[in-house]
Amino acid sequence: MAVASPVGNDRIATGIDGLDTLLYGGVPAGNQVIIAGGPGAGKTLLSLEILYNNAKKGGSGTFIALEEQESVVIQNFKRAFPSLSDIDDLVANNSLVVAGEEVTPKMEVGSDSESYSFGNVISSIESIIRSNNSKCVVIDSLSLIKLMFDNQALYRKYMLMLSFNLRKLGVNSFLTMELPHSDRGALAFSPEFFIFDGTIVMYQGIEENKRTFSLEVIKMRGSNHSLSFSPYEITNKGFKVFSISEM
């Protein structure tokens, strides 16, 4: 039985086949979740599919693309998931906003004015979120924001500020983050894992000369969750996470 969420018993389903099983129904309302993994694990696609699934059910969402053009993000999604091509309709009716090109120029990497620069980034992100009264938000990715800070103590301070501001907006947040290694044995915890409410890590391995994918829910504040280490596939219809009973 799941414990009560700190913001109530409501959960936000991801709509990802199998992932909600691991989450015992979904992410507690208001939680901020890190989706971490190495290159090619599918972090961006997974987070955007969560937004897509929620928008299909009537929940507005925003995808903040800091490292890719907005049109390319949507194009990559449709190429990966041809069965989900109606994402264009969700974007057209403002149920799903993909933005971020106006945020990246405000990120002064390694400058002496990190406070001013990051304040502008947060202000821009909040403005985009409010543009369609979003209830679910993705920031892709924290790794780029981290490059703004030479001082790791200062970086942690401003991650706490970001967390506070997202919570003040009352949104569920998914924040992607790059890992230097794709295998589970090399996992190391950085400040983001401790600051935000939840952590989902996506791994890659090699089995019989074939790349394999698996994930686990490391933590989810305010809720119990499965401790299973679960394989997943990226199909043309979206992600499929396998439970132990399906293996």
pTM (two decimals): 0.89
The Cα–Cα gap between 103 and 67 comes to 10
Q: Encoding tokens for residue 247?
A: 């293996």
pLDDT of residue 223: 92
pLDDT digits 0-9 by tens, 25-76: 999 999 999 999 999 999 999 999 999 999 999 999 999 999 999 999 999 9
Tell me the domains of the chain and their CATH numbers: 11-173+187-246 (3.40.50.300)
What's phi and psi for 210, nearest 5 deg? -130, 135
pLDDT at 36: 96
Closest residue by Cα to residue 218 from 25, 42, 46, 36: 36
CA angle 200–203–206, rounded 5-degree value: 165
| Cβ 204 vs Cβ 213: under 8 Å | yes
**Collapsing DSSP states into helix, strand and coil, what is residue 219?**
strand
pLDDT band, residue 193 (cuts 50/70/90) = very high
What would you report as the CA-atom Rg of the chain, rounded to the nearest whole angstrom?
17
Is 187 in contact with 178 (CB distance < 8 Å)?
no
Strands 27-28 and 11-12, sheet pairing: antiparallel
Would you tell me how many other CB atoms lie within 10 Å of the CB of residue 232?
A: 22
- Cα–Cα distance, 37 to 126 (Å, whole number): 26
Q: Are 204 and 211 in contact (CB under 8 A)?
A: yes
Q: Locate tokens 């543009």: which residue?
A: 131
pLDDT in tens, 194-246: 999 999 999 998 888 888 999 999 999 999 999 999 999 999 999 999 976 55
Q: Between these two residues, 51 and 122, which has the higher pLDDT value?
A: 51
